[in-house]
Amino acid sequence: MKRPFVIAVASEKGGVGKTTIATNLAVYLKALQEDLPVTIASFDNHFSVDQMFALGPQPGGSVANLLEGRPIEELATLGQYGVQYVASSQRLQPPSHDPGWLRQRMSASTLDGILILDTRPILDWFTEAALLTADLVLVPVKDRAALINAGSLKKIMADAGRAEKLWLLPSLVDARARLNAEVRVHEFLIYGARERDYQVLDICISKSPKVEGLASGFSSRIWPVLTHARNTSVHGQFKKLAEFVLSSSAAETFEYRNRSGGEGVLEGLPAAWRRKLILECPLCCQQSLHTDGHFFFDLSSRRRGFIHTGCCDQLFAELELDVMSPEEILALTIEGPGLVGPESRLTAHLFDADENLVASEELGEGKGRLHKTLPMMIGRPIDASYRELVIINRQAISPAEQMGDDLYRRFACRRRKIARELRLAGLF
């Protein structure tokens, strides 16, 4: 990495588990990838970061020095669990700079790995600076009020043209709590967030008395979930959260270099397209922009990419649908469980060259490769999806040609027709 991948954990509402998430995420990231440098700093003044990670004498610098212009790599001190931390400060004064100044500082930093910024439960200079600096923003929400308060954070990211970096994370939710006999609280939060056009993680950090007790004992030390609460469901939840962050950082910092012109494809695309372009084949996970491939597009997430011809043949071989012409298009619909449904349902639909529905096939769990590949296309597990439509071109074509104006407009037109046909048939 040429600069740190920055994660901001932010919320205007207190008591949502923000600092617990930031500190434990640091520990789990280090545990999952030992050679990855992980650094954490907090703009809050409760010293929780220091109480979990401090090791040895008091460091010579603090977050206050960072805001004075000192490089963060000089301030980061190796702490417990292999995590580097920047010492907290009791009183922070906002600099005279614009909040975007911090991002410029981080862009010029030689700090490697991942940097986690814990913020205050208020939208001030420090929180805004963290948001503008972040490559990924995690917003813990535990109730309707926190969901509403997330709107101001989203506006800042949207105004900066970076709304896609913000993800809501249901947090401190009692797994047993229900709104009624059928709908659980965390399911409502996920549904409500998506209704408001938020990206929301399919992970819920549960409320746990044992986890809460890790910061309230006689000792001044705060203990991480990884070492002192592995027998709780929160342990597995933090592991999943860390895996999501690692995959996000890998996608963000991936530098594509290929002699066959793949780099030129990226440079010629609008920024919004580049952010949603998956650079690897979702089946074999190898670079996919250097050769002809089969273009795919997910309507919900707007993710797009290419499947290698050999990999695409393996996927189509699992289907009973008779795919004959390269002009045909495969549409995959996922009906997730939503709030009260028992399970998700995956169906394949074959369309001819004129976008007429030819045949449909419901796919069970036996379709191994498709069930493995789809989460890479849509960016979430199939069972955690609500309603998805993924369209795959049967014709193999070069990425540069497919992403050109003419072919892309044609594909967009066909995509709209297919979605309309499926809706009219009651299949999507």
Residues 299 and 156 both lie in one domain: no
The Cα–Cα gap between 370 and 331 comes to 12
DSSP per residue, 15-26: SSSHHHHHHHHH
Residues 325 and 397 both lie in one domain: yes
Residues 96 and 143 both lie in one domain: yes
Residues 248 and 336 both lie in one domain: no
Return the axis-axis angle of helices 368-378 and 309-317, rounded to nearest 10°: 130
Residues 244 and 266 both lie in one domain: no
**C-alpha Rg value of the chain to the nearest Å:** 23
Instruction: Using a cut of 0.75, tell me whether the model's pTM lies above it.
Output: no
Residues 248 and 271 both lie in one domain: no
Number of domains in the chain: 2
Q: Which domain holds residue 353?
A: 262-424
Q: What's residue 254's pLDDT? A: 40
Q: What's residue 154's pLDDT? A: 94
Residues 167 and 235 both lie in one domain: yes
Residues 184 and 293 both lie in one domain: no
DSSP 8-state assignment for residue 99: T
Domain end point (choices 253, 276, 309): 253
Position of tokens 């549904």? 191
Token representation of residue 156: 């800042």
Q: Which residues are CB-contacts of 251 (< 8 A; sequence separation ≥ 6)?
A: 278, 279
Q: What's residue 67's pLDDT? A: 92
Q: What's residue 345's pLDDT? A: 81
Decide: residue 377, CB within 10 A, 0-12 exposed, 13-18 middle, 19+ buried. buried
Q: What's residue 261's pLDDT? A: 41
Mean pLDDT by 10 residues, the chain (428 residues): 84 93 97 93 92 87 92 94 94 88 87 95 96 96 91 93 92 73 72 87 90 80 94 94 88 42 53 69 79 89 88 86 81 70 77 90 73 79 76 89 82 90 87
Residues 201 and 296 both lie in one domain: no
The Cα–Cα gap between 264 and 398 comes to 12
Residues 230 and 302 both lie in one domain: no
Strands (E), 48-92: 77-78, 84-85
Residues 56 and 137 both lie in one domain: yes
CATH number for the domain spanning 18: value is 3.40.50.300
DSSP 8-state assignment for residue 170: E
DSSP per residue, 341-400: -SS-EEEEEEE-TT--EEEEEEE-TT-HHHHHHHHHHHSS-GGG-SEEEEEEESS-B-HH
The Cα–Cα gap between 67 and 62 comes to 9
Residues 281 and 314 both lie in one domain: yes
Q: What's residue 181's pLDDT? A: 64
Q: What's residue 192's pLDDT? A: 83
Domain end point (choices 253, 283, 302): 253
Beta bridge partners of 3: none
Domain end point (choices 253, 278, 311): 253
